[in-house]
Amino acid sequence: MKRLMVAIFALALVGTSSAGEWHIETVDSEGTVGRDTSLALDSDDHPHISYYDSYYNNDLKYAHWTESAWQIETVDSEGRVGEDTSLALDSSGYPHISYYDYTNTALKYARWNGSSWQIQTVDSAGHVGRYTSLALDSSDNPHISYLDNPNHDLKYARWDGDEWHIETVDSTGHVGGHTSLALDASDNPHISYYESHDCDLKYARWDGDEWQIETVDSENAGWYTSLALDSSGYPHISYQKVSSVLKYARWDGAAWQIEIVDSVGRGYTSLALDSSDHPHISYYGYGHLKYARWNGSSWHLWVVDPESWVGSYTSVALDASGSPHISYHGSSPSNLKYAYWDGEPGVEGAELYANINDESVLVGWEITVDAPAAIRVLRSVGKGEPVDVSGSLSGAAVRWLDRDAYEASDKGLKPLVYRLEVTEEDGTVTRFGPTEAVTIPEPTRGLSLSVYPSPAADALTVSFALPSEGRVTVALYDLSGRRVATVVDSDLTAGRHDVSCDVSTLTPGVYLARLETGTGTLTRRVVVAR
């Protein structure tokens, strides 16, 4: 009978937790306002927000915070204007806004010159200008990506100081929705966007000579894209899967790394990178404003505004301390809202592991804070989405037995991956993991592994039993998956073996001892302490 075996590598999280809270306020509630928000912070970390006054006035509006109050004004009221706004601040702190003119089906652009708003029609060649995204280059000249709706093309416009240059970037199908634009250190544009016919996430970049275009994610994904470039100029993209799942893709220099951030997302993602190139994402999660950030080891998730039906049309920016500021739409009544964090939230850390137990999997964890409000174990099968399989567990729980592991894995044919979701008393949700899971095709009766003492100071003994002779590797790994010591790497006979391992030079902490044979693999946790 086939049995499942789970081996763990990337387990531990290290971070800090300090006091802080979300501050939430209503910026504008005059009329039906707050859709299509775009947020930027000036050099004093004061927020500036462009947004749409819909239904009644159909105007483009702009709000910014002075030292004591919000200043609000109407930028453009010529017809129905102001949808799909995108805001950037220039080197003088003046706002520039791209937006859609519904009346004239055109792309428009407004900028503040220090005394008045200067407004231009950029492109009026058909039904153009939806899903605008604006970035300013090193000379404060605007660059805009947008949709050519009747032709279903992705378009791009840039101002060179004298005139607009407009071109079609991608015309290979139903492309150009939900665009997001960023400029690299050479002022070359990078654009993420949605291909609606095949439901793909696409990415285009100008290499100095021509556009390079590729499909990033073809698994029914690509809505509400948001793009940022890291310090190496590599793209990071947040977006939604059509089934309302928040996803995140990043280019690591060789390939796209794609993961699910939250299986309870709904749309309107916005992405910013901090000084460590870690992503922060604001998004709409089934009636609430939500926020996710990567701390270098795991995703931390929060419900920012618990009121019902708030959080759509979200935009996030990070201040000089790396704390998030978010603009968004409050729908009942329809208003513009703003939230910011004044501390560093989150669980300090956790360690997640899983071990084989007959045809079940024992999932265990250690959390380095006081007992949380609740814990859930999530399981994904193969490349599937994580699903809650434990239900709500007590915050004092330290393990859970997955009795359905063998059947869930299609009788050992598919790997299982586990994650831990921790809910704190204030509602903060942090997700830990994933584990690394593998399946084995044959029984491993007679294969065992133990490591003692633990904690170990100078030396430890690795004891293992083999059901048959063959090649054996035993090694120690740190929690990043890096091998730090090789204990055994040779052909051995069947039976019991005891091998000593010197750990006197290892940094105190948690390590993993891993036994690999032709009949199976086992992993055990060991602590090195002085």
Residues 352 and 428 in one domain: yes
Count of structural domains within the chain: 3
pLDDT digit string (tens) for 229-276? 999 999 999 999 876 789 999 999 999 999 988 877 667 999 999 999
Residues 236 and 283 in one domain: yes
Residues 424 and 284 in one domain: no
Residues 220 and 168 in one domain: yes
Q: Which of 440, 458, 474 is the last residue of a domain?
A: 440
Q: Is residue 52 scored above 80 in pLDDT?
A: yes
Q: Which residue has the higher pLDDT, 344 or 512?
A: 512
Residue 17 lies in a domain: no
Instruction: Among 20-24, 308-312, 468-472, name the one with the lowest average pLDDT.
Output: 20-24
Structural domain boundaries enclosing 366: 3-12+348-440
Strand-strand pairing, 416-423 and 70-76 = unpaired
Q: Is residue 351 scored above 60 in pLDDT?
A: no
Q: Is residue 1 scored above 50 in pLDDT?
A: no
CATH (domain of 479): 2.60.40.1930
Q: Which residue has the higher pLDDT, 56 or 37?
A: 37
Q: Is residue 368 scored above 70 in pLDDT?
A: no
Q: For residue 230, which of 244, 243, 248 has the smallest C-alpha distance?
A: 248
Percent helix, strand and coil across the chain, each to the nearest 5? 0, 60, 40
Residues 362 and 331 in one domain: no
In this predicted structure, what is the pLDDT of residue 452?
A: 85
| 342: region left, alpha or beta (phi > 0 left; psi from -120 to 50 alpha) | alpha
In this predicted structure, what is the pLDDT of residue 356?
A: 52
Residues 309 and 358 in one domain: no
Residue 473 banded pLDDT, cuts 50, 70, 90: very high
Q: Is residue 515 scored above 70 in pLDDT?
A: yes
Whole-angstrom CA distances from 68 to 45, 57, 241, 377 are 14, 27, 40, 46
CATH (domain of 137): 2.120.10.70
Residue 379 lies in a domain: yes
Q: Which residue has the higher pLDDT, 205 or 352?
A: 205
Q: What six digits make up the tokens of 191?
A: 């654009």
Q: Is residue 8 scored above 50 in pLDDT?
A: no
- Give 267's strand partners: 284
Percent of the chain clearing pLDDT 90 (strictly above) = 53
Contacts with 296 (C-beta within 8 Å, 6 or more apart), sequence order = 15, 276, 278
Q: For the chain, first and last CA: distance in Å?
A: 44
In this predicted structure, what is the pLDDT of residue 321?
A: 87
Residues 480 and 371 in one domain: no
Q: Which residue has the higher pLDDT, 423 or 40?
A: 40
Mean pLDDT of the chain: 86
CATH (domain of 352): 2.60.40.10
Residue 154 banded pLDDT, cuts 50, 70, 90: very high
Residues 57 and 120 in one domain: yes
Residue 372 lies in a domain: yes
Instruction: Among 105-114, 174-183, 187-196, 421-430, name the one with the lowest average pLDDT.
Output: 421-430
Contacts with 217 (C-beta within 8 Å, 6 or more apart), sequence order = 200, 201, 239, 247, 249, 256, 258
Q: Which of 424, 440, 456 is the last residue of a domain?
A: 440
Residue 6 banded pLDDT, cuts 50, 70, 90: very low
CA distance 273 to 37: 19
Residues 85 and 43 in one domain: yes
Q: Which of 341, 372, 388 is the last residue of a domain?
A: 341
Residues 479 and 357 in one domain: no
pLDDT digit string (tens) for 305-333? 878 789 999 999 999 989 999 999 998 67
What average pLDDT does the segment 135-158 reach?
Answer: 96
Sheet holding 95-101, edge to edge: 81-89, 95-101, 106-112, 117-123
CA angle 437, 438, 444 (to 5 degrees): 125
In this predicted structure, what is the pLDDT of residue 350?
A: 54
